[in-house]
Amino acid sequence: MELFKPLNVQPSEDKRTSSLKENVRCLIIGSGPAGYTAAIYAARANLHPVLYTGMEMGGQLTTTTEVENFPGFPEGVTGPQLMEQMKKQAERFGTDIRFGVAMSADFSHSPLKVTFDDGKTVEAATVIIATGATAKYLGLEAEKKYAGRGVSACATCDGFFYRGKDVAVVGGGDTAAEEATYLAGLCRKVYLVVRRNELRASKAMQQRVFNTPNIEILWEHQAVDLFGEEVVEGAVLVKKKGTPGEEQVRIKIDGFFLAIGHTPNSSVFSKYLETDAAGYIKTVPGTSKTNVPGVFAAGDVQDPHYRQAVTAAGSGCMAAIDAERFLAGS
Ligand code: NDP
């Protein structure tokens, strides 16, 4: 195993080139709970981590309001506040936090190289990828208009705020089935808006949905708009869209949940890293190790199942410890 050796940066005539190159022990990409937790651990282990935030500083939690399920905050905390706290904690131990987006990578040999949108290439002995996943939206204008005011892509995060209310979940896969069943335990009624006349979800999940009395499945319906004064008060659906039997339906709801899948933000690295069919980076079970020595993955970019802030943070911790051990040659 090749241990870290400081790169011999040759003095260059071209100042711009030399300032655009750098060598670090631990490069962390992403500023969600996984990235910041990796930074806290790596910094405390004296790895002098450099963390690039990505486009959405703070990650997906910055788009949620109240977070009530992150341990240690009995009164709850807002997503942006939680991320600010994590950032400060990472900075306290000396993490070099920079705003920037990874544009390309070369993991063909050591040192590992990642180039950012400002043109800078960072050479690193270890790289922790914590770039997260992006929830898919339908692309309606109304989804932006009511973001954080009735529109959510995470039932586990936001479902609690809709206790006793009526909500809709869009999607027909395992996530939609799981979220609809979860919400049914909190809400008065859950509409499951399914674009086809069958669910993609596993048979077991389908059965749970069918057996839940307060879930109503709206087969062959597509959401086309939302309405409401300040917050979501209802959705406009089209039944059998594009057929002679097409019909518009309006439902009154307080919450509109998207569950039509996530896209892991792994494309920049996919030339070198093994991913599953959906693009989630594969790790050696029980570790954060990818197929490339020295490259580790943490958080939602490698997790199609749990996708929680606390699981992301836990895997960020694992990645920093794995990186430290890699550098130590053990
Ligand atoms: P999937 O890709 O499996 O399902 C997405 C669903 O959303 C499909 O029903 C799809 O419809 C629907 N959809 C997609 N685009 C639109 C659109 N524009 N309008 C309306 N509906 C749309 O994603 P999931 O997040 O459900 O699951 C991802 C992976 O994670 C799967 O492998 C799943 O099995 C797994 N998973 C496992 C769980 C578990 O084991 N407990 C829990 C959650 C996820 P259509 O069917 O028509 O294509």
Catalytic residue (one of 14, 106, 118, 158): 158
Average pLDDT, integer, range 29-39: 98
Query: How high is the pLDDT of residue 247?
Result: 96
User: What is the domain extent for residue 194?
Assistant: 137-258
157 flagged as catalytic: yes
Same domain, 148 and 241: yes
Residue 51 domain-assigned (yes or no): yes
Q: Could you read off the pLDDT of 191-214 as tens digits, one per residue?
A: 999 999 999 999 999 999 999 999
Same domain, 48 and 130: yes
Residue 16 domain-assigned (yes or no): no
Residue 18 binned pLDDT confidence (cut-offs 50, 70, 90): very low
26 flagged as catalytic: no
DSSP characters over 271-310: TTS-B-TT-PBP--TTS-B-SSTTEEE-GGGG-SS---HH
Ligand 1 near 176 CB (within 6 A): yes
Distance from residue 177's CA to the centre of ligand 1 (Å)? 9
Same domain, 83 and 181: no
Same domain, 149 and 169: yes
For atom 3 of ligand 1, the residue with the nearest CA is 173
Average pLDDT, integer, range 177-195: 97
**How many structural domains does the chain have?**
2
Terminal Cα distance for the chain, rounded: 9
For atom 4 of ligand 1, the residue with the nearest CA is 173
Same domain, 148 and 247: yes
Q: Could you read off the pLDDT of 142-170 as tens digits, one per residue?
A: 999 999 899 999 898 899 999 999 999 99
pLDDT at 239 over 90: yes
Residue 4 domain-assigned (yes or no): no
Query: How high is the pLDDT of residue 66?
Result: 74
Of 239, 258, 277, which one is at a domain's C-terminal end? Answer: 258
Same domain, 52 and 104: yes
User: What value does the mean pLDDT of the chain take?
Assistant: 92
Same domain, 128 and 269: yes
Ligand 1 near 59 CB (within 6 A): no
Instruction: Give the three-state DSSP class for 155.
Output: helix
Residue tagged 């705003």 (tokens): 99
Residue 87 structure tokens: 């950032």
pLDDT at 3 over 70: no
Radius of gyration of the chain (CA): 22
Q: Could you read off the pLDDT of 270-289 as tens digits, one per residue?
A: 999 999 999 999 999 999 99
Biggest alpha carbon distance in the chain? 73
Determine contact, residues 145/226, Cβ cutoff 8 Å. yes
Q: Could you read off the pLDDT of 91-138 as tens digits, one per residue?
A: 999 999 999 999 999 999 999 999 999 999 999 999 999 999 999 999
Residue 98 domain-assigned (yes or no): yes
pLDDT at 44 over 80: yes
Same domain, 35 and 110: yes
Residue 138: CB atoms within 10 A of its CB come to 13
Of 218, 235, 258, which one is at a domain's C-terminal end? Answer: 258
Ligand 1 near 80 CB (within 6 A): no
**Alpha carbon separation from 226 to 36, 160, 166, 262 (Å, rounded):** 35, 21, 14, 22
Same domain, 117 and 37: yes
Return the CATH number at 94: 3.50.50.60
Q: Could you read off the pLDDT of 55-104 as tens digits, one per residue?
A: 888 888 876 667 888 999 999 998 899 999 999 999 999 999 999 999 99
Asked which of 8-22, 94-108, 308-322 is least confident by mean pLDDT, the reply is 8-22
If you count them, how many residues does the chain have?
330
Average pLDDT, integer, range 314-324: 98
